[in-house]
Structure 1
């Protein structure tokens, strides 16, 4: 719900901050004081087109800031996560309107587009009044409200799942159909696979081939180096290294008794002699493996050349040829199965369409029953709200389906007849703003909590009514406040008395400019404000007594 609304240099408001709680909050004030500016501010925070005329005269820009607690709006929290605007449980909307006509918007302190602002605000606040941005005028919102009222979550999920399956199967068939005649591709893949299968492409095989090729290419030099080293180690041209080390140890051993540290030297020389001996053995094995074999070299060279040619052909590194071969095998298997899969898909698509039709029929029946209940309940409330003879209908219109629709097989239109004898017309074409507001109130009260939007704003819903009807309007708004946060701009004391909290908007001239101020009223101030609304400029004792009675009855 809305926690805080801050305005700065907005119209005739220089600076104001309002805090809101649950239940019903009313906003009153003299004509022209700017009561509806709070509604206008929420409208701009909901993405309305910027209006430079709303910037206070002499100021460079107007600033609007709203802080919501989204705990009762899980859809808004999910939207914030999906759009990467999430910041824990924070949900703030900010917008500036510049005097030159431009504007900027932020969500949780991050720059946002007006479209994003509008999407998020639509999940948080719903404005009912005499303006074109009312959500209930949109047929998509009407359908959502009817489904929420009827509790159609299970039926909607079944319809959506059937439609999603049908679409997935259709996309698969279209993808397979686009491949056309795949015989040439199958032949080509078979040739490539056979060509690659003639080579050893196992992991490590190419590395071993490269090492073998390098060894053969340098075989003569390796043999010469090994022979020279073996001759030196064996002592062909003089004493061997091992023999020399033994002589060193013998000469030092005679003096070890006089210098204990020579024991450590002797151990090192002994270890060196062992290492030299092992090196000679390994060197001899390497030499025995070496052989200058031009034929073997030619075979290795030709194999390596073929691998490099294949790598260039398939535009991969030689070590990646095995992966390319596996990919070709997978594609070949999928193409060979394509014909069989296409034949099976036709039957699966028909079955998915039948499942969608069954689910859509069940949803349509449930919607029909819910539409009847909502129509009757709203019609009864319209009469209570001073529109005797008026009638409300929820019309279900079948839609010609080219493909399964996740929203079902029909659309909804809210129809209203404001007076007896008049044919019902779409709600969005109702001319009177006051009637439209009261009808919206009746719909919301009839649905009572079905709407997922947690904050509802009613602007001048009491226009053109008074007396007992005004008291009923107030009671209905208060009842709605039990399940939703309700903000109501009103000029009638019977409505204002029903609020759980009360703000008064007043205006004054200062330095030649008009300024509006907003203050929250305590119980005594509320009584004075209601008395003013009842009695006008001169507040009489009778007006104060009547105000006390209204507050007492509401409490």
Structure 2
């Protein structure tokens, strides 16, 4: 089958571009390139149609089974390539996982004979969970095999909103719910803080009083430690500084010597022709520096030569600070901040009435705004539900389900269950027999009925989902004639806007396909393999004739097949 360009009519849609299968059950090597529209897969029972669906499911995160590995092969491998468009949700998932978010999405899965599997997304290693998440956004499978999407009640509310164009209203409700919860959380936190502060009030008041008396300052510990080190060596420092002062001053001190030298040179400077000027300037600078040094030495000596009891007082202060820090489990430098925090908590107790009253008013206002918007959304949902029920009901009689009923329930939630999606619970329910109570889709309908319900829903909801590929497995089970023709017409209608893959035994459905693939077994010596061929012209007519007449294809069957194909045109 030649690859053809893919037309994506709806922004944010996806389509399956190709499926490559290696060593899966009876399939040795197979690559299928798909187009948009209705693609029908036919073949005799046991030819391997289910293998194709199993392979696709494997690529989309289904449970790996060692039985899928072809006998004698090292591993089974399936690669599915999708083309994405616009703001498809799969792109957001890829960005969330730090993977390349390209318009082409390639997922690959391998399974070894011991049942272990590996997965890749855009050639980067990925988890099977990620494949499953992506698969739920890319393909919906309806019929005899695993299903999701519309069968999950959690999706029904969003589907109804999309059908009725209520997404913006739903986003507004979600935003108002976030605002409400934010205020409620703030109030709850304030109540907890106040309750904790009340329990600790006596302790806080005592601790703040102690810290106020101590009056700790940031950086004080380092300053005291430095001064303490100086005072510890006070006697040696004083002795050394006094000796230095004696050397620098007095009758033979440096100041007197420099001054005498400067005077002597100054008297004869004129006779030296300027050569002594730099010398005198340097000595003058030295005299000034010496004077400054002596003054600094005197100041330092005065600082050290203090009250001998100063060391004792300093150590008492340092030990008091460190004891307080140990008591409260903080560093000494953090005592000041701790005191402020405790004082703030005491203020919280004193101001609790005003704070809680304000937060309560804000919470009530936010809750009321959310409730009003949610009630408005609920009213619109109920109106849309009635409309949806009506249009789905019109699709059921042609599908041989005239006695079946479809119902969309919109029921109020308990206030405790209100959430970002609103205050309603939405569920699609069906009743397949007259007089029976409606129930959940996946619990009431049988496999064939379920597939037809999904078909009816999908025809109605065709433009609301970003899932661009629908797979129906034997949607025609148990029907024939005009009903099968109606199923074919609806599948063809779906194919105008979506990519639809149908495994069918119905010639009426097969005749509606824009693409017809035949799954068939081929014997190679002692080995049997499954292959797929695209049918056209006479080959397609012959396959539909086989579906009409069985093993022996008659002229009447060929004529009927030609009529079915012509009827599509």
TM score, norm. by length of structure 1: 0.82
Match for 2:135 among 108, 121, 128? Answer: 121
Distance (Å, rounded) in 1 between the aligned partners of 2:523 and 2:264: 114
Contact 1:491–1:533 (Cα < 8 Å) also in 2: no
Contact 1:388–1:419 (Cα < 8 Å) also in 2: no
SS of residue paired to 2:429: strand
Where do 5+ consecutive residues of structure 2 fail to align? 1-13
Distance (Å, rounded) in 1 between the aligned partners of 2:280 and 2:531: 102
Quote the offset at 1:440 in angstroms. 0.6
Distance (Å, rounded) in 1 between the aligned partners of 2:556 and 2:264: 130
Is structure 2 residue 243 aligned with structure 1 residue 228?
Answer: yes
> Over residues 54-105 of structure 1, what are the superposed CA-to-partner deviations in whole Å (9 max), with x where a residue is unaligned?
22223343223333344456333333344x3432336443333343344444
Match for 2:526 among 498, 503, 512? Answer: 512
For residue 200 of structure 2, what is the aligned residue in structure 1? Answer: 185
Is structure 2 residue 44 aligned with structure 1 residue 12?
Answer: no
Distance (Å, rounded) in 2 between the aligned partners of 1:235 and 1:17: 107
SS of residue paired to 2:309: helix
Contact 1:249–1:269 (Cα < 8 Å) also in 2: no
For residue 544 of structure 2, what is the aligned residue in structure 1? Answer: 534
C-alpha spacing 1:415/1:305, structure 2 compared with 1 (3 Å): closer
C-alpha spacing 1:323/1:34, structure 2 compared with 1 (3 Å): same
Contact 1:62–1:97 (Cα < 8 Å) also in 2: yes
Is structure 2 residue 372 aligned with structure 1 residue 362?
Answer: no
For residue 312 of structure 2, what is the aligned residue in structure 1? Answer: 298
Is structure 2 residue 212 aligned with structure 1 residue 197?
Answer: yes
> Over residues 203-260 of structure 1, what are the superposed CA-to-partner deviations in whole Å (9 max), with x where a residue is unaligned?
444444444444433343333333333333347557667479979999xx99x99xx9
**Pairwise mapping of residues 332-351 of structure 1 onto structure 2 (< 5 A)?**
332-342=346-356, 351=365
Worse overlay, 534-543 or 192-201: 534-543
Distance (Å, rounded) in 2 between the aligned partners of 1:191 and 1:19: 80
Q: How many residues align?
A: 547
**Pairwise mapping of residues 472-491 of structure 1 onto structure 2 (< 5 A)?**
472-491=486-505
> Over residues 356-391 of structure 1, what are the superposed CA-to-partner deviations in whole Å (9 max), with x where a residue is unaligned?
443333222212211121112112222233444544
For residue 99 of structure 2, what is the aligned residue in structure 1? Answer: 86
Quote the offset at 1:470 in angstroms. 4.2
Is structure 2 residue 450 aligned with structure 1 residue 436?
Answer: yes
**Pairwise mapping of residues 391-410 of structure 1 onto structure 2 (< 5 A)?**
391-410=405-424
Contact 1:73–1:452 (Cα < 8 Å) also in 2: no
Match for 1:454 among 449, 468, 493? Answer: 468
Distance (Å, rounded) in 1 between the aligned partners of 2:265 and 2:518: 110
Contact 1:72–1:454 (Cα < 8 Å) also in 2: no
TM score, norm. by length of structure 2: 0.80
For residue 50 of structure 1, what is the aligned residue in structure 2? Answer: 64
Match for 1:311 among 315, 322, 325? Answer: 325
Where do 5+ consecutive residues of structure 1 fail to align? none
Is structure 2 residue 426 aligned with structure 1 residue 412?
Answer: yes
> Over residues 99-154 of structure 1, what are the superposed CA-to-partner deviations in whole Å (9 max), with x where a residue is unaligned?
33444444455655544443332222211122242332221223321221122223
Contact 2:107–2:120 (Cα < 8 Å) also in 1: yes
> Over residues 418-455 of structure 1, what are the superposed CA-to-partner deviations in whole Å (9 max), with x where a residue is unaligned?
57777655422345423321221110111121123233
C-alpha spacing 1:194/1:104, structure 2 compared with 1 (3 Å): same
Distance (Å, rounded) in 1 between the aligned partners of 2:327 and 2:254: 58
